Structure 1
Amino acid sequence: MISETVTVPAHGAALAGDLTAPGGELPAVVLFAHGSGSSRHSPRNRAVARKLGEAGLGTLLLDLLSEAEERDDARTARHRFDIGLLAGRLVDAIDWLDGRHGTEGLPVGLFGASTGAAAALVAAARRPRRVYAVVSRGGRPDLAGDVLPRVRAPVLLIVGGADETVLDLNEEAAERLSVPYRVHVVPGATHLFPEPGALEEVAAAAGDWFRERLVRGR
């Protein structure tokens, strides 16, 4: 396993990221989109990323906000809901991967959590030839709004069964998609999936979704 800290230039900011690739030929890369005050150090997303790495996929966990923006967001919570800003930076990260030796031309998957899920869907719509699959974990796809029908990559929406409000929002957003999708409900799980076995189910479902669509896409 090869891991390195990278800097991704995006929308006037230099974003820190952790790029990890298993040994051997890399078939695809999954780019993680955090939201709601989280960062690339999110233990939940890092746990999912480890499972994807074990499955042979590359991962890029990226801070979508600069350090100054993170400090401001901690006080005001305004940047975490700026879907346009977050999506624009994801698009820049997709383009950066495409221009980087070792990841150029590879299929990209997007894994979004919370508001990062909406940003991932918007970015997928803006880069339909680069993004082959999208997974949302406890996400807010409804915040992608009118972009939802323009998404061209298949979408997996993972929601906790006890996270009732978010589940309703996911089911309503799914009805606006024009691509293959699935709503995967983790029974009894709440928003952050802290229940025993819940996050493992998230990782397994995401891994299956990405492996089938990213490796086949290549």
Structure 2
Amino acid sequence: MNRRLAVLLVPALLMIAGCTATEEATSGAAPTRAERPSPFADCATLAAAPASAVPAPPGPAGAALPELTLSCFTGGAPVAVRDVRGPAVINVWASWCPPCRKELPAFQRLSERAAGRFQVVGVNSRDSRGGAQSIGEDFGVRFPMLVDQGDAFERALNRNSFPLTLFVDADGRIRHTDASGALDDAHLAELVRTHLGIEVR
């Protein structure tokens, strides 16, 4: 008799426990990072030239940006990398890369100092969405972010290093590629001045 009663009670108790857990999950639990709004800016503006774009500086033109289409972290239409209008500073990074994390705040400050003369763009590569979102939230990164789930962007550039930064002129030509390690504010300003002809204050 007791055994029969236990057999009948166990499913009922499990049902009650399941309902309680579901109610707690839907009513009181904080949203996961994947459910939160993206910290990054929308990519729709990338195909428009910066408001006060500076013409390409004199000197030999570099290679064009690769023929590649990447998704935007915020969703929406994919972006053809060649359609990104310069001048631009493009930073390739991943959340698991310590030098990338170290330099990201400097790129955010650079985007704030651009004053409409150039744009700062991120390419999050070989990373998880949760990892990238976490870094964006923790470090206050707000510039537009493209997503390369594999390493197509780096392969198109014949590069295999993190972090990687491209300096692209107003004609969409790569004037310089930097793979020297974590960049700080002063070094970034020097590279922008040298390769894009723009003074950053």
Whether TM exceeds 0.5 here: the answer is: no
Considering Cα pairs closer than 8 Å and 6+ residues apart, tell me whether 1 or 2 has the greater RCO: 2
TM-score, with normalisation over the residues of structure 1?
A: 0.27
- Whichever of the two has the greater Rg, that structure is 2
**Structure with higher strand content:** 1
TM-score, with normalisation over the residues of structure 2?
A: 0.29
